[in-house]
Amino acid sequence: MLNSKVATKRTIGAKLLNSFQEQAVMNSLINRLIIEDKLYTKIAISESLGSFGEEASKELIQYLGNVGNNQHKSLPNKKFKKKNYPLPRDIIARTICKIGKSALNSLKKCLYNGDYNQILEAIDSIGYISFYEDDQTLEKDIINMIKKYKNDELMLWKLIRALQSFKSENVKNLLKEYSNSKVKQLRWEAERGLNQIKRKKK
């Protein structure tokens, strides 16, 4: 069913396979996800993969930034105005977010060993998971990346966005610094990050 020509059957197949926690099943779901073109089927596959936990995150990392064409390739033209943390646009990053906290170890390794596109999307997943799990584990790693990519505006924009998931004085000082940036997108995210941290404290 997972490989049926009919999208609804593929969706049902993906949901049914959630009951079978085996490596071969996980691999089949990943192989389908990277070629799937129907939204609801992608969502079903993504949800089933989320239940495989850390093992799935280890396998999914290699596909970050390389499936589909929905990722940010340049800085956005307008602010993100919602109060929630933005869901990653990359389908693999979204799937890793469903795994949650147990994916953070794999994502940390990706920050230091992944290629450029993988790192961009790993940052989105780290920010999202850290925000909703209230997990501070990778704060120092995000700050390290800010120092490393200080001249890369796209990478920096994603990293500043991720900072809103943390709440130390170091983070707040960094956000205050970037709230005066000449690059409007960096300024937007820094200001938004400071507001998010204030909201979370209430």
pLDDT in tens, 164-198: 999 899 999 999 999 999 999 999 999 999 999 88
Q: Which long-range contacts (CB under 8 A, 24 or more apart) does 5-9 make?
A: 7/38, 7/40, 7/41
Number of domains in the chain: 1
Band (pLDDT 50/70/90 cuts) for residue 14 is: very high
State yes or no: pLDDT of 79 exceeds 60: yes
57 within some domain = yes
Q: Which domain, by its residues, includes 141?
A: 53-201
30 within some domain = no
69 within some domain = yes
**Residue 54: Cβ-neighbour burial (10 angstroms; 0-12, 13-18, 19+):** middle
63 within some domain = yes
Looking at residue 103, the DSSP 8-state letter turns out to be G
152 within some domain = yes
Per-residue pLDDT at 201 = 67
* Cα end-to-end distance, the chain, whole Å: 48
The predicted model scores a pTM of 0.93
Side chain identity, residue 139: E
